[in-house]
Chains A and B, each alone.
Chain A
Amino acid sequence: MAPKFQIKAFQISRLVKNFIIFSIVTLSFLLVFFSKSDLYLIHGIKNISSSVIIPITKVISAPINTFSNFVDEYNQFRSLKFENKILQEEIIRLKKWQTLAIQNSRENNVLKKLLNATDNNLILIKTASLINRNDTIYSKLINLNAGYEDKIKKNMSAINERGLVGKVIDTTSNNSRVILLTDPNLSISVKSISDGIFSLLTGKGDGKHLVSSFVKENKMPRLGDILVTSGTAQIFPVDLLVGKVIKVEKNRFFVLPFVDFENIDYVQIVTSK
C-alpha cells in the first residue's frame, strides 16, 4: 500500500498540470509584451541574470576561456619581434607629435583664457573592467563590474583611450550592461570635424563597421573624414571620437570606429558636465 500511496502523491492531477502550463504561457506572453518597459519584475529578472547567472556561466565556460587566453598569448608571443619593430618606429613618430601637442596645448590654454571660455570636460564616473561579453550572436553587449552603487546610471557613455565604446543600457547594484556602437539598435548623432556635417550612425551588423542612417541635408562627408559625437541628442557628450569614414556611397557612408571592440578590457563611464 505504501509505494502505491507514494506514486499517487507524486502524480499531479491533469487539471493542475494544465493550469501550470496555461500560467507559464500567460506569464511568457506578459513578459514578452512588457519586456521593453521598466517594470520591477523585468528589472528583477535582469538583475538576477547579471549578478547570479553570469558568474555561474563564467565558471562553467572557464576551460574554454583558459584555452582561448592561451592561444591568444601564444599568438602574441609569436608576433613579439615584429610588433617590437613597429612600436619602435611608432615611438619616434609619437615623440614628434608629442612636442607639437604640448605646443598646441599651451596655445589652446592661452586662447581659452583670452576668450574666457569654459571647459567642456567630461565627468568621470567610474573606470570598470569587463566581466563578460555577449557580442557573437545577435546583439553586441558587454557586462561591466560596476553598477548603480558606483553611481553608474542608464544612458551614460562608455569610452576608452581610443574613443566612444557605447552606452549604458542597464544597471544593477554591482553590474552594468553596455550596448556597443556596432549594435544595429544603437543610433549615435555625429558630426564631421572638417565640414561639420551632421548625421546619424548605426551598427552595420557585422560587428566592425557603422553605417549612416540619416545625413542632414544629404551632404556626404569625404573619405577619411573623422567623426565625433555632435552632442545634439544629449545622450552622448559632445566631441567624443567615433571613427573614420572609409566608404562613401550615393545615399550613405560607412565608418570604421576608432575603438578596437575585440580588445576591450577596461572602459570609463563618463557623463558631460
Chain B
Amino acid sequence: MEFSKFLKSSSKLNIILIVSFSISVNSFILFPNINNSFYVLFHLTLIYIIFYYYHYYLYFVALIYGILFDIFLLNSIGAHLIIFLSLLILFILLRKYLIRLSSNQIIFIYFISLIVILLIEQFLVILIHNYKFNMSSFLNFFLISLIIFIPTVFLLTKLDK
C-alpha cells in the first residue's frame, strides 16, 4: 500500500523527467534554447525528486539517466553519471541538516545546487571528455535557470500538491 501511494505521487515527476530528457537530447536547430531549457528542467526536477521523494529506486534512475545523457551528449560515460550519483550520496549525508531548514532556505539551497551541478558538469566534461570550457554556454544555462526556476518550483509544488 505504502509503495503504491509513493509511486502515485512521484510518477508525475518521473514523467517530467522522461519528457525533459527526450527533448534535451534531440537538437532543434531553430530553437537551441529549447534543448537547454529542458536540460535545466531535467536537473531541477531530479533535484526536486531527490529532495522530496527520496527512495532507493532513485539510484537506478540516476544510473540510467546518467548513462543515457553521457552517451547522447558526450558519446562516452562520465560526467552526468558521476554528478547524479554524487548528488544522491551527498543528499543522504546532508539529509538530517536539510530537514531542519525553512522553506526559503530550501528554495535557496535548491537553486544553488542546480547552479553548482551545472558548473561541476562543465568541469567534469573538460576533465574527462576533453572539451573546452564554454563560458557562453554556462552563462546561457545560468540565465535559463534564473528564468525558469520560480515557474518550475511553482509547477512542481502544484503537481504534488
Q: Which residues of A contact B (CB under 8 A)?
A: 3, 6-7, 10, 12, 17, 20-21, 24-25, 27-28, 31-32, 35-36, 42, 45-46, 49, 53, 56-58, 60-61, 64-65, 68, 71-72, 132-139, 141, 169-170, 177, 179, 184-185, 205, 262-263
Contact = CB atoms under 8 A, between A and B. Distances in A.
A185 B35 CA distance: 21
Interface of B: 1-3, 18-19, 21-32, 34-36, 39, 56, 59-60, 63, 66-68, 70-78, 81-82, 85, 89, 125, 128-132, 134, 137
A171 to B, nearest CB: 13
A53 B68 contact: yes
Nearest to A264: B29
B18 A28 contact: no
Contact of A46 (B25, B39, B71): B71
A28 B2 contact: no
A57 B22 contact: yes
Contacts of B30: 68, 71-72
Given A6-B1, A68-B28, A138-B131, A28 B82 contact: yes
Contacts of A138: 73-74, 125, 129, 131
A36 B76 CA distance: 6
Instruction: Report whether over half of chain A's contact residues are helix, strand or loop; otherwise say mixed.
Output: helix
B34 A3 contact: no
Contact of B132 (A12, A56, A184): A184
A27 to B, nearest CB: 7
B63 A28 contact: yes
Given A32-B77, A32-B82, A141-B75, A61 B131 contact: no
Given A25-B85, A68-B30, A32 B128 contact: yes
B2 A7 contact: yes
29 contacts: A7-B1, A17-B56, A27-B63, A28-B85, A32-B77, A32-B78, A49-B68, A49-B71, A53-B72, A57-B22, A57-B23, A58-B26, A61-B23, A61-B26, A64-B23, A64-B34, A65-B26, A68-B29, A68-B31, A71-B31, A132-B25, A136-B28, A136-B35, A139-B73, A139-B75, A184-B130, A184-B132, A185-B130, A205-B134
A185 B129 contact: yes
A31 B75 contact: no
Given A7-B2, A60-B18, A184-B131, A35 B72 contact: no
A42 B71 CA distance: 10
B66 A170 contact: no
A133 B75 contact: no
B77 A35 contact: yes
A7 B6 CA distance: 13
B86 to A, nearest CB: 10
Given A49-B72, A60-B18, A137-B35, 20 more contacts: A20-B56, A24-B63, A28-B63, A28-B82, A31-B67, A35-B76, A36-B76, A45-B71, A49-B71, A60-B19, A64-B26, A68-B29, A71-B30, A132-B25, A133-B26, A135-B27, A136-B36, A137-B24, A177-B75, A205-B134
Nearest to B71: A49
A1 to B, nearest CB: 15
A72 B68 CA distance: 29
A76 to B, nearest CB: 11
B132 to A, nearest CB: 5
Contact of A133 (B2, B27, B67): B27
Contacts of A58: 22, 26
